[in-house]
């Protein structure tokens, strides 16, 4: 018997509001401080799930500011010095963008804006608390299975470390050791490969795989349960075109 899991993501708006440290300079040279209401669509964020970010920019009078040439959310892992960008598109009076994190951890986040005729982005808002992103996970048959690849952002031809954490689906989440587990990888081009998973520490099972083609890839961990039960934890993620 094969057991798999389906899960439903509930979206909750988390609002983080702050004032700009730098005034916005309009085309007519007028300086004006703005307030940004920054919203995250999920109360708890995990890798491989779409998250929507919304920035509502207003004047101190509460009037929407919608004349930016560009608004973006910049984010970086706490261990990185490089910022990455998510462009936020104007929808009504809000700037909105959706993305999927491929690496877990804590991220610094700020909202940037550029008016017409200006050649650089200005900081509109810095989120005080880091955004925490957990590992993608499934709960199946009394087990909690978490997944992550290293690196997280994968391109065709990249060799990745595929890693699973298997633990009891209880409050203590004790690691499940000694599994005779197998990892199955399906490339976007349809080719497949299977590997015997190596337990590198208690409850952590891994292998490496080179992904061919760009598009959606699938990886799954297979392991036996009690009796004739067989469990499968499958995850999907994008492989980008070559660097």
Residue 237: predicted pLDDT: 96
Residue 59: predicted pLDDT: 86
Tokens standing for 159? 């060799």
Whole-number Å distance between alpha carbons of 54 and 57: 10
Residue 30: predicted pLDDT: 64
Positions in the chain whose pLDDT score sits under 70: 1-31, 226-228, 243
Give domain limits for the chain: 8-134, 136-239
- Using one digit for the tens of pLDDT, what is the confidence trace for 54-89? 999 998 888 999 989 999 999 999 999 999 999 999
Q: What is the DSSP string of 60-129?
A: TTS-B---EEEEEEEEEETT-S--EEEEEEEETTEEEEEEE--S-EEEEEEEEEEETT-SS-EEEEE-SS
Whole-number Å distance between alpha carbons of 136 and 49: 8
Tokens standing for 68? 């930016």
CATH number of 136-239: 2.60.40.1930
**Is domain 8-134 in CATH 2.60.120.10, yes or no?**
no
Q: Nearest 5°: phi and psi at 179?
A: -70, 140
Residue 27: predicted pLDDT: 55
Quick count: other Cβ atoms within 10 Å of Cβ 130? 14
Instruction: Using CB atoms within 10 Å of the CB of residue 117, give its burial: 0 to 12 exposed, 13 to 18 middle, 19+ buried.
Output: exposed
Residue 33: predicted pLDDT: 80
- Predicted TM-score (pTM) of the model is 0.85
């Amino acid at each position: 018997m094969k057991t798999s899991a389906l899960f439903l993501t509930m979206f909750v708006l988390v609002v983080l509001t702050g004032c700009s440290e730098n005034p916005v300079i309009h085309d007519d040279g007028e300086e004006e401080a703005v307030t940004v209401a920054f919203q995250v669509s999920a109360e708890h964020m995990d890798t491989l799930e779409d998250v929507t970010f919304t920035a509502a920019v207003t004047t101190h009078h509460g009037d929407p500011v919608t004349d930016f040439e560009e608004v973006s959310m910049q984010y970086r892992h706490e261990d990185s010095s490089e910022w990455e960008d998510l462009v936020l598109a104007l929808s009504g009076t809000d700037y909105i963008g959706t993305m999927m994190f491929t690496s877990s951890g804590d991220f610094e986040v700020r909202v940037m804006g550029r008016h017409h005729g200006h050649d650089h982005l200005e900081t509109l808002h810095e989120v005080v608390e880091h955004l925490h992103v957990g590992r993608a996970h499934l709960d199946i048959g009394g087990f909690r299975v978490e997944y992550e690849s290293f690196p997280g952002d994968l391109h065709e031809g990249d060799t990745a470390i595929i890693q699973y954490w298997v633990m009891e689906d209880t409050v203590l989440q004790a690691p499940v050791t000694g599994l005779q587990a197998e990892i199955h990888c399906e490339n976007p081009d349809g080719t497949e490969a299977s590997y015997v998973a190596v337990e590198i520490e208690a409850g952590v099972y891994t292998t490496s795989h080179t992904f061919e083609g760009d598009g959606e890839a699938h990886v799954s961990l297979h392991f036996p349960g009690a009796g004739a039960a067989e469990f499968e934890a499958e995850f999907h993620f994008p492989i980008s075109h070559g660097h």
